[in-house]
Amino acid sequence: MRSKTSFLSAAVLAAALSTTCSAQTIFPLTRADILAGALFDFKVEFDGVVDPAQVKVSINGVDYTKTLGKTADLVAKEDGKEVSSLILRDASIRKPGTYVVTATDGKSTSSVTWTVYGTPAKKAAKNVILFIGDGFSIGHRTAMRILSKGIEGGKYTSKLAIDEMPNMALLTTQGTDSIITDSANAAHAYTTGHKSCVNALGVYCSRAANSLDHPKVETITSLAKRHGMAVGAVTNSEIEDATPAAMVAHTRRRSDYNDIVDMFYQSKIDVMMGGGSPNFLPKSTPGSKRKDDVDYIERFKQADYRLATTKTEMLAAANDPKTTKLLGLYNTGNVDGALDLKFLKKGSVAQFPDQPDVPESMNAALKVLSRNKNGFVLMVESARIDKYSHSLDAERAIYDAIMLDNAVKQAKQWAKAHGDNTLILVTADHSHAVSVVGTVDDNKPGPDMRNKIGTYNEAGFPNYPAPDADGYPNKVDVSRRLRVLFGSYPDHYDTFAPHLEGEFVPAIRNAAGVMVANDAYKDAPGAELRVGNLPNIGSGAANNGVHTGDDVVLTAMGPGAQKVHGQMENTDLFRVMAEALALSPQKLATASKASDQ
């Protein structure tokens, strides 16, 4: 514990710095936690063109080159503008401890503090499986439990696989620019241990003009590969989408899909599965979204990846003991969600009838990755919980939450059967404002649907059929169904019922540029107009629900899971993985304590 005196002097110093030192921005930003030995780009942005002779950058009072081992480039006019920057790519710090970085241009001075931490010398876990339910919130969790598990005597008859884990924490998800994250900087926090800003992957958000020029930080994929491990990313979104991309990408702009495909290729990630094939096809192939004629399907094949475009091909590839690298692309867009894939056959199921679901893809990935005797890191995402929550399509979101639980259940079984040395983490990247408020009962009297809503004791229990072995009721359009509400929404018609015809499209921009309710639903029986509570004009106009800043739940089991407890930053999840895998082994037993200063 610090003495009162030293606390006060630090406060005085901080106050002094904050009044005189706003000129430079130093990356990584202050309060960064950096894994010892992990690579990062060091950048100092000056607010004008500087005199190189006046520039001094020190770390813990000594010239920065002593700590970082290399000399940075001083760019006189960054991107042709009247500002100078000092840039050093691929820096790292080997020794754990506290590092105070100070930069001056002779006129003003800025300072940041980093904490560099090591890990135990020996790995506790051989493997890590990180599950991300995109946008997966408490409301989804409760709804899926009601649909998947029976209630007797007021108690659930059994637990969800995601709940039956010994460790739990609340993760905070805010970033460097905002209290609200998107899936890019949220997943980036898990895969790099650094905070960043909305839309950014594997980089800090600097003033660089080019989205690929921002200060990079090393990903868990790169670190694990450096330790001889196998790495995989499994999703049912497009593989270039933010969450899977965070495993490999370094870009300020998550929509750089063509660059992200190349980043996957360069990363040498062993298994990658999802949708989003058009960015792999040369532009001369009809259906391509590339701007060049590079055939990434062919490049991956030449790098010894097995290609699977259907579930049948995936199973054949995974079952072949020679397969150690697998590229699975099952849809041009997102892979269909569980409700469409298994029951309604809407979405793109007619076009792509042989798509795997997330648990099937995960099992194929486990087969392939476990062929590496050094262990693996696997990220498994149920991506469309988020997408369906954006579109206020509660049933589809809930079914994809059940799909996540199935994957976790099977991963737990796999881990138990394979040495019990796998750390399993289950979390969300951010939340939605989603809540179970009761039920809707078609058999209640009267014409108005809102008066068929049951709250408190009148909610009772819904009458979904008993779930199948995977926890899915085979019918969602039952007469007494869950009333799940989203707290943020655009204008839309509330139909009080599941959208059997296909994913809900709540709002559309009208001729005057205003986001209005999609009148395709206007005449649905009982439909009521909900006037939105989000912006409906300008660049911030919302055509769907938005992310919220609520904390997300992390549950964990296996070696290393004991570090999961209480309230944690989302970046702390990276550290839990790094420590379990001993990604920065320190000889001294006190190594990991260095970061607790």
Scan residues 497-556 and list those touching other proteins (CB under 8 A).
497, 500-502, 505-513, 516, 518-520, 523-525, 542-544, 546
The sign of the torsion formed by the CA atoms of 283, 288, 291, 292 equals negative
Q: How far apart are CA 232 and CA 551, in angstroms?
A: 26
Report the SS3 class of residue 149: coil
Among 61, 80, 287, 447, binds other proteins (CB under 8 A): 287
Binding to other proteins, residues 298-337 (CB under 8 A): 309, 329-333
Site string (343-362) toward other proteins, x via CB under 8 A: --------xx----------
Least spacing, CB of residue 475 vs other proteins, in Å: 6
| Listed residue (299, 473, 303) closest to 399, CA to CA | 473
Task: Please give the residues from 416 up to 455 whose contact with other proteins meets the rule CB under 8 A.
Answer: 442-443
Minimal distance, residue 545 CB to other proteins, in Å:
11
Which DSSP state fits 251?
B
Which are the contacts of 367, defined by CB distance < 8 A and separation ≥ 6?
Answer: 318, 319
Under 8 Å between Cβ of 432 and 551: no
Q: Which of 67, 104, 185, 199 binds other proteins (CB under 8 A)?
A: 199
Pick the stretch among 22-30, 33-41, 146-154, 173-181 that binds other proteins (CB under 8 A). 146-154
DSSP 3-state of 596: helix
Residue selected from 390, 430, 483, 563 as contacting other proteins according to rule CB under 8 A: 390
User: How many angstroms separate the Cα of 156 from the Cα of each of 16, 113, 153, 484?
Assistant: 57, 48, 8, 19
From the CB of 290, what's the least distance to other proteins, in Å? 7
Total residues binding other proteins (CB under 8 A): 76
Asked whether position 491 contacts other proteins by CB under 8 A, the answer is no
Decide whether 213 or 503 has the Cβ nearer to other proteins: 503
Q: How far is the CB of 540 from other proteins (least distance, A)?
A: 9
Q: Could you say which DSSP state residue 217 is in?
A: B
Identify which of 519, 467, 463, 468 has the alpha carbon closest to the alpha carbon of residue 491: 519
Nearer to other proteins by Cβ, of 63 and 354: the residue is 354
Q: Give the nearest distance from C-beta 505 to other proteins in angstroms.
A: 5
- Judged by CB under 8 A, the chain residues 21 through 80 that form the site for other proteins are none
154-183 positions binding other proteins, by CB under 8 A = 182
Binders in 550-589 for other proteins, by CB under 8 A = none
What type of residue is 511? A
Can you tell me which of 103, 186, 281, 365 binds other proteins, judged by CB under 8 A?
281
- Give yes or no for a contact between 38 and 92, defined as CB atoms under 8 angstroms apart: yes
Q: Where are the beta strands (DSSP E) in 442-551?
A: 453-454, 480-486, 492-494, 507-509, 515-517, 528-530, 547-548
Which residue of 289, 342, 371, 530 would you call a contact of other proteins, by CB under 8 A?
289
CA atoms within 13 A on the CB side of 412: 18
The smaller minimum CB distance to other proteins, of residues 511 and 589, is found at: 511
Q: How far is the CB of 330 from other proteins (least distance, A)?
A: 7
